[in-house]
Amino acid sequence: MLEDPESNDETLEDHNLTPEFNPSKTFPDLRDFNFGIILVATHILLEMGAVQHIFDYILGPLKIPLLVTTVTIGYGIYLMASRKVALASPTSKALLLLIAFYVSYSLIASTDPVTRESIWKVFLPYFFRLIILLKCITRKSQFVLIIDIFLLAVAHTCLRCSLSQGKLWGDAFLGDENEVSVLAVCAVPFAFNLFLVSRSMLKRIFYAGSIGLSVWLVMVAASRGGMLALCLTGFLTWLFIRKKITALLIIIAAIVIVANFAPKKIFNRLTTLQSQGTEELTAFDRIYGWHCALMMFNDNPILGVGPSNFSERFPEYTYKYAQVAKRVPNRSFSVKRVAHSTPLEWLSTTGIVGVGIMLLLLATLFRNWFIVKRCRKIIGWENAQSPDFVIIESIGFASAIAILSFWVGGIFITIIVHPFFWILIPLSELAKNFAEDLKYRCAEEDQSLEENAITVT
């Protein structure tokens, strides 16, 4: 059970359940911060907020990122060893299985020793962040707080990238305009849904600004994959929310603004793709890499060629494919490349086994969304109108949409090890947990009312 702290929100007294979320509150309560939230927030700011890139001359020599990662792993192990977090949920089990498979397979099969050493350092913190957030977020106000920190980090990144041609030059995760665009799109559904449920003017301005910066970054970056993911996000966000008229007006206004003020580069790239189709240079280069990925999978269908081995095996397969291809890229066969497609690179490097485990994880994430969606019918109309449920429903929908948007944007780029997808997993799991807790509390309250009625009778 999640904790049920007392609330002093007098505007919500009419609701059956004790309110845990105040939509009119602008600033976070200092009591919402704890060690785990601060730890995960630091990760978010370092990896997705461009803080590490900006202050690397300070953070690097002090080894702050390594220190934060080490503390995260240690704290996560402590929580597991002390049994303070239950890992009985399908999502937790699927994530643990996937990371165990990927890390262990990498230690065996990855040919690059640097990559083999770094993969476990990347993936273990992703799992332990789930553990930490499941333990340390016990109130809905804390849930909103961690999402606000995520949105603040992404907004800062989008602002800086917009001023430097759509990317942060030299950054490991944010140094490609297409990758930054996917991160920006993943933030949009959260900002949009929180904008609709918040009653604080300052927070609504913050959420609107977050949406604006994300959309503007996609335009400046001229990312066609990002644009496709953004269109999907806008449509699904409008489709699954209740305030459709308000949302439609906002979307129309955004389209008008984009059409009039977006850089011409994005329209030029779209026009080029329309006129040249798959013969356009970037499109052809990606499709050529996809053919090589499918050839790798065809030769190694069960386990693939091994984690991060795509670039190592690419020269071999590009030469092999060049023997039958009608057109080949104008570069040396010795050049190492990625697949420029997250699904295809995952398929070619982990095979049927890896794809099966990933699909299992995705199935549990969308199961979380269905649980949140079904909760409205179970708890009754009156409880479904409470801010407590509305915020959880909004975040649950936003998590599902962001996950879909990530994979749509990932069709055109390789972002397997990037934190953009892995931060969405604990958000989905927490939304499900809060929804189930709310159902449990409603059932308890109904049972108590029935017992009181029997006693009176």
Predicted TM-score (pTM) of the model is: 0.87
Query: H or E segment at 260?
Result: helix 244-261
Q: How confident is the model at residue 236 (pLDDT cuts 50, 70, 90)?
A: confident
**Residue 448, pLDDT score:** 66
Residue 304: C-alpha distances to residues 55, 110, 186 (Å): 39, 11, 29
pLDDT reading at 234 higher than 90:
no
Between CA 430 and CA 217 the distance in angstroms is 29
DSSP code of 299?
Answer: H
| Stretch among 19-23, 332-336, 358-362 having the lowest mean pLDDT | 19-23
Between CA 39 and CA 45 the distance in angstroms is 10
Please state the rounded mean pLDDT for residues 300-314: 93
- Return the percentage of the chain with pLDDT > 90, whole number: 46
For residue range 150-186, list pLDDT tens digits in order.
Answer: 999 999 999 999 888 888 877 878 888 889 999 999 9
Please state the rounded mean pLDDT for residues 282-286: 80
Q: For residue 70, give the amino acid letter.
A: T
**Residue 276, pLDDT score:** 47
Query: Which position has the token pair 């009778």?
Result: 457
Q: Which residue has the higher pLDDT, 42 or 60?
A: 42
Q: What are phi and psi of 45, to 5 degrees?
A: -65, -35
HSE-CB for 175 with a 13 A CA cutoff: 8
pLDDT reading at 6 higher than 50:
no
pLDDT reading at 30 higher than 90:
no
Q: Which residue has the higher pLDDT, 84 or 111?
A: 111
CB atoms within 10 A of CB 328: 14
Cβ atoms of 238 and 251 closer than 8 Å: yes
Sequence length of the chain is 457
Residue 174 has which token pair? 């944010």
**Residue 19, pLDDT score:** 60
DSSP code of 340?
Answer: S
For residue range 381-422, list pLDDT tens digits in order.
Answer: 777 888 888 899 999 999 999 999 999 999 988 898 889 999
Look over the chain and give the mean of its residue pLDDT values, rounded to a whole number: 84
**Residue 259, pLDDT score:** 62
**Residue 426, pLDDT score:** 95
Residue 61 has which token pair? 């020599």
Q: For residue 334, give the amino acid letter.
A: S
Q: For residue 234, give the amino acid letter.
A: G
Residue 74 has which token pair? 């240690």
Rg (CA), the chain: 23
Q: For residue 166, give the amino acid letter.
A: G
**227: closest CA among 152, 174, 177?**
177
Between CA 433 and CA 415 the distance in angstroms is 28
Alpha carbon distance, N-terminus to C-terminus of the chain: 32
**237: closest CA among 227, 226, 228, 248?**
248
Q: Helix and strand tally (H, E) in the chain?
A: 19, 0
Please state the rounded mean pLDDT for residues 1-20: 43
Between CA 441 and CA 447 the distance in angstroms is 10
Residue 204 has which token pair? 């609504």
* Residues 369/229/153/419 CA torsion (nearest 10 deg): 70
**Residue 451, pLDDT score:** 60
**Residue 60, pLDDT score:** 75
Between CA 392 and CA 136 the distance in angstroms is 17
**Residue 33, pLDDT score:** 93
Decide: helix, strand or coil at residue 396. helix
pLDDT reading at 356 higher than 80:
yes
Which residues lie below 8 Å from residue 3, measured CB to CB, with a gap of 6+?
Answer: 138, 139
For residue range 50-81, list pLDDT tens digits in order.
Answer: 888 777 778 778 888 889 999 999 999 999 88
For residue range 180-203, list pLDDT tens digits in order.
Answer: 999 999 999 999 889 988 889 999
Residue 287: C-alpha distances to residues 166, 223, 341, 405 (Å): 24, 17, 10, 21
Q: What is the largest CA-CA distance in the chain?
A: 87
For residue range 417-457, list pLDDT tens digits in order.
Answer: 889 999 999 999 999 999 998 888 877 766 665 666 666 65
Residue 42 has which token pair? 């630091």
**Residue 447, pLDDT score:** 66
Between CA 32 and CA 5 the distance in angstroms is 11
**Residue 452, pLDDT score:** 65
Residue 285 has which token pair? 């280069």
For residue range 237-280, list pLDDT tens digits in order.
Answer: 777 666 667 767 776 776 666 666 666 655 555 555 444 444 56
Alpha helix (H) residue ranges in 49-89: 51-54, 56-62, 64-81
Between CA 446 and CA 409 the distance in angstroms is 45
**131: closest CA among 185, 93, 182?**
93
